[in-house]
Amino acid sequence: MAKLSEKIGYGFGDMSSSMFWKIFTYYLPFFYSQVFGLSLGEAATLLLITKLWDALFDPLMGIIADRTKTRYGKYRPYLLWMAIPFAVMGVFTFITPAFSHGWKLFYAYASYILMMTVYSGINVPYGAMLGVVSDDAQERTVFSSYRMFFAYGGSFLALAIFEPVRDFFGGMNSTLAWTLTMVVVGAICAVLFYFCFRMTKEHVVPVFKKEKNSIGKDCMALLSNRPWWILLVAAIAALLFNSIRGGVAAYFFKDYVGQLNSLGMGLTLSCGMFLAIGEIANMVGVVLAVPISKKIGKKDTYVMAMIGSGVLSIVFYYMPQNVLGVWCLLVLQVIISAFAGMTFPLLWSMYADISDYSEYKNGRSSTGLIFSSSSMAQKFGGAFGSALILWILAAFSYNTAQNAIQASATLNGLNLMMSWIPAGGCVIAAIAVAFYPLSEGKLKSISSELEMRRNREGASL
C-alpha cells in the first residue's frame, strides 16, 4: 500500500500539467486570434500542426522513457530534468514579438512546437509512472483519482487567477500582461513538478523477455492490444468534447453572454468564473469516481458519465438568452463537469490495466509506449478540437474585430459549439467503451498471474 504522501505528490504532477493545458486549450486560440494578431485560419492551422507534432512525438518520448535507467527510475527523473524548461517555454509561447506578420507567424510556430515538445518530455514519463507506482489495479485507480483531483485543482487555480492576474498587469489587450501572467503560472508549475519528483517512487519493475529492446516488437504488441484501440477512440472523442466546449467558452462569453451585459441586464458571470466553477465540479466527479466504480465497475461508470455529459450538453443549447437562462447554464456546467470529472481517472487507470494486459499476453508491458500513445490520441483530439473551434467560427462568419457585434447566426453557432457539437464526442466515447473487455474479475486474474511471473523470473535473474 503506497503512502498518502506519494499519492499527493503524484497529484502535484498533473496539477502542474493541467494548469498549462487548460490555459492552452481555453485561452491560446483567443490569444492568437485576438491579441497576437493572427487570422482565424492562421491560428487554426497553427494549433492543428503544432499539436499534431506534439502527438506524434509522444510515442517517441515513451520509447525513450521505457529505455531510461537511472537511480531514480525510468520515468521519475524527467520530472526534475524538464521542470524549468517546461515553465520557460510556457512564457515564450505567450510573448508577442514586434516582428512583421510573417516573422510573427514563424515565431508562433517555433515557440509552440518547442513548448509542446517540452510538454511531452515531462508529461509522457509522468503519465507512465501510473503503471509503476503500484501493481494493484484498484490502487492505481486511487492514484489516478488523486492525479485527476489535483489536475482539476490546478485547472481551477489557473482559471481562477489567470484573468485577475492578467488584468492586474494591464488587461486583455496588453500583450505584456499575457506574458507576465504566464511568468506567474510557469513558476507555480515548475515548483509543483519538483515536489512531484521528490514525493514519489517507482515501486514496480516489470520483467521483460530477452528481446526487450526491440522497438518493433513493442509496437506490434501495442497494435495487437484490442483494449488499447478501444480506449484510443474514447480518448480522442472525449478530448473533442472537452477541447471544443472549453475552447469556445471565451468567445461564447465575450459575445453571447456579453450582449446581455451590454443591455444592462446586470449579469456578473464571467468566462473565468464559469470555467473555474466547472473545475470544482470536476473535482467532485473525481471523488465520486472511486466509490461508484467499486460498486458498478470502471466500464459502466465511464459509459454512464459520458452519456450524462452528452445529454446535458444538448439541454445547454435550449436555455433562453436572458439572465435566468445564463444562470441555468451555470447549473448545467456544474452537473456536466461533475460527470466529466468521473471519466478521466477511470480512463488513465484503464491505461495502466491494459499495460498489465500487454505484459500478460505478450510478455512486454511497454508502459511508457502505451501511456505515450494514449496521450498521443488525446492530443489528436485536442489538436482537431482547437482547430475545429476556429474553423467553425470562420464558417459562422465570426467577426474578429475588437468590440464587433456578432450576427445572430454567429451567436447560434457559438451556442451549438457549447452544446450539440461536443455532445457528439460523448456519444462516440460511450459507444467505444461499451466494448471494453477487461472486467474487474479479469484484471484480478491477470494481476495474480503477473505477480507469480515477476517473482519467478525476478528470482532467476
| CA-closest candidate to residue 239, choices 389, 125, 93, 410 | 389
Whether 40 shows a pLDDT value over 50: the answer reads yes
462516440: which residue's cell?
Answer: 428
pLDDT tens digits, one per residue of 290-339: 899 888 888 899 999 999 999 999 999 998 877 788 788 889 999 999 99
pLDDT tens digits, one per residue of 185-218: 999 999 999 999 999 999 877 554 444 556 777 7
The CA-to-CA distance between both ends of the chain, in Å, stands at 26
441555468: which residue's cell?
Answer: 328
Residues in the chain: 461
Is the distance from CB of 235 to CB of 378 less than 8 angstroms? yes
Q: Summarize the confidence of residues 217-241 as an average pLDDT.
A: 82
Domains of the chain: 4-460 (1.20.1250.20)
Using a 10 angstrom Cβ sphere, with 0-12 exposed, 13-18 middle and 19 or more buried, the burial of residue 420 is middle
Strand, helix or coil at 70? Answer: coil
| CA-closest candidate to residue 396, choices 262, 388, 257, 310 | 388
405: DSSP letter: P
How many whole angstroms separate alpha carbon 399 and alpha carbon 82? 39
Cβ neighbours for 459, distance < 8 A, ≥ 6 positions apart: none
| CA-closest candidate to residue 160, choices 30, 22, 260 | 22
Helix extents (H) in 129-223: 137-169, 175-199, 215-223
Q: What is the CA radius of gyration of the chain?
A: 22
Amino acid at 24: F
This prediction's pTM: 0.69
